[in-house]
């Protein structure tokens, strides 16, 4: 019965957010509560459910929220920090901002040379897919919150596999450059230097004269993050406060910038805390245990020890056909619980689960990809057809590098 309830809850959640009938925030909060109440009612008739109490359900939800509190705090201050860095003019912003700036800079050159904009869009999207694995990115944060592990424990070991994927991407770019040169011949251009692009949406917030300081602050922050000098939430809180104080002496300006970016930050953090309710009920009622036992029962004994690479491979199609919320909060906890029977840890499963992100960005569920295609003047279907093979190969390069470096095991000997 718990297996049926758990699957029903996950399928209902996935359907509602994929059909856009509910936001992820609402679905993560209301659907598990609904199924918890159903479990409460059925507990009087099925001994396998035990006798649940309303008070117990509340404690499950609160426990889930408490476990995700550090992740929520980290994301809140990380989003605000990078938003402020964008305002100061240090670097590009999210996927949409990056696409706008990069396409604006590169598309005229591609057109002048007669190069295919499909190549440009492919390389930009694959680069975004690789860099989307940072701790402040959506997939790593979701995997961390779903499995209750530290985002830094997922990300730091993945740095070298990400670098391998980036080197592979440079090779793809070099190969396409050679092919285009063979097709077009050698073309010489007069290169003139234009004005700097204003990245920030608030020109008054630009601090070009402090770019060296902001760059140094960000480098120090990344070093401290990798070395684990302090917990991630504390590092981002300190960095944000230093950035605000040094860049903006006017207190009203500080308040205005924080208020300007609060909406996007709170939207993400709200989903993280709502995920606490979802995972709290999923685990507290025993649904995850029941589903994992069923999954273990149907997995051939010979395949169980390979669950980490299997998760990495299936993350490609699953995150293509469903949203990240549906995969990381609905599917990953079940796979992780099943993998635990073979000695594969949750953090190893979390690392494996983020490998498929370059393919995920080709999904029709990703709004920024539509923006990229529109800016580049290409059809979405053209972009998918051209890029899909390179996205899959990029994921496989990252997968092989991760296994060779021991980021997660190819095969678990404990079973």
pLDDT digits (tens, 9 = 90+) for 126-173: 999 998 898 877 789 889 888 888 888 999 999 999 999 999 999 999
Quick one: pLDDT at residue 89?
74
Quick one: pLDDT at residue 194?
46
Q: Is the pLDDT of residue 110 over 90?
A: no
Q: Which two tokens stand for residue 286?
A: 């025993």
Quick one: pLDDT at residue 243?
92
| DSSP at 230 | S
| DSSP at 208 | G
Q: Between 322 and 342, whose confidence is greater?
A: 342
CA gap 334, 337 in Å, rounded: 5
Count of residues making up the chain: 415
257-302 pLDDT, tens digit each: 888 888 877 877 887 788 888 888 887 887 877 776 776 677 777 7
| CB burial string 294-319: b at 16+ within 10 A, e below | bbbeebeeeebbbbbbbbbbbbbebb
40-86 pLDDT, tens digit each: 787 766 665 666 677 778 888 888 888 878 878 887 888 788 778 87
Quick one: pLDDT at residue 162?
95
Average pLDDT, the chain: 83
Q: Between 270 and 321, whose confidence is greater?
A: 270
Quick one: pLDDT at residue 413?
66
Half-sphere exposure of 34 toward its Cβ, with a 13 Å CA cutoff? 11
| pLDDT bucket at 179, cuts 50 / 70 / 90 | very high
Across the range 311-337, mean pLDDT stands at: 84
Q: For the chain, give the percent of residues with pLDDT over 90.
A: 24
Q: How distant, in Å, are the alpha carbons of 83, 97, 164, 173, 320 from that of 91?
A: 10, 10, 23, 22, 29
Cα–Cα nearest to 307, from 283, 282, 279, 341: 341
184-228 pLDDT, tens digit each: 887 776 655 544 444 455 667 788 788 889 889 988 988 888 788
Which phi and psi angles does 20 have, rounded to 5°?
60, 30
CA gap 412, 415 in Å, rounded: 7
Across the range 85-113, mean pLDDT stands at: 73
Across the range 109-137, mean pLDDT stands at: 88
Q: Which two tokens stand for residue 330?
A: 């609905």
| pLDDT bucket at 367, cuts 50 / 70 / 90 | low
């Amino acid at each position: 019965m718990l297996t049926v309830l758990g699957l029903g809850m996950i399928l209902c959640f996935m359907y509602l957010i994929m059909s856009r009938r509910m936001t992820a925030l609402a679905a993560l909060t209301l659907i598990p509560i609904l199924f918890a109440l159903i479990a409460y009612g059925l507990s009087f008739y099925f001994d396998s459910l035990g006798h649940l109490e309303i008070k117990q359900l509340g404690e499950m939800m609160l426990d889930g929220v408490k476990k995700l509190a550090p992740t929520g705090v980290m994301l809140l201050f990380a989003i605000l920090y990078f938003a402020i860095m964008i305002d100061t003019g240090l670097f590009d912003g999210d996927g949409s901002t990056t696409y706008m700036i990069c396409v604006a800079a590169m598309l005229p050159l591609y057109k002048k040379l007669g190069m295919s904009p499909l190549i440009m869009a492919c390389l930009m999207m694959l680069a975004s897919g690789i860099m989307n694995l940072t701790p402040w990115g959506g997939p790593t944060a979701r995997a961390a919150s779903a499995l209750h592990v530290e985002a830094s424990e997922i990300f730091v070991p993945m740095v070298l596999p990400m670098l391998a994927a980036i080197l592979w991407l440079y090779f793809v770019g070099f190969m396409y450059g050679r092919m285009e040169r063979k097709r077009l011949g050698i073309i010489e251009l007069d290169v003139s230097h234009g004005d700097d692009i204003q990245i920030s949406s608030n020109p008054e917030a630009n601090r070009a004269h402090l770019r060296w300081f902001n760059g140094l602050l960000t480098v120090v922050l990344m070093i401290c993050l990798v070395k684990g000098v302090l917990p991630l939430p504390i590092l981002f809180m300190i960095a944000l406060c230093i950035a605000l104080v040094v860049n903006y002496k006017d207190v009203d300006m500080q308040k205005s910038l924080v208020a300007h970016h609060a909406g996007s930050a709170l939207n993400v953090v709200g989903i993280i805390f709502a995920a606490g309710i979802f995972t709290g009920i999923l685990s507290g009622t025993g649904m995850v245990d029941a589903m994992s036992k069923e999954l273990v029962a149907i997995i051939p004994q010979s395949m169980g020890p390979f669950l980490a690479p299997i998760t990495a491979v299936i993350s490609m199609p699953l995150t293509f056909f469903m949203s990240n919320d549906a995969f990381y909060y609905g599917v990953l906890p079940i796979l992780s619980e099943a993998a635990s029977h073979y000695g594969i840890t949750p953090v190893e499963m979390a690392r494996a689960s983020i490998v498929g992100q370059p393919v995920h960005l080709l999904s029709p569920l990703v709004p920024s990809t539509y923006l990229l295609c529109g800016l580049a003047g290409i059809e979405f279907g053209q972009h998918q057809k051209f890029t899909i093979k390179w996205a899959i190969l990029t994921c496989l390069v990252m997968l092989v590098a991760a296994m060779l470096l021991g980021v997660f095991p190819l095969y678990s000997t404990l079973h």
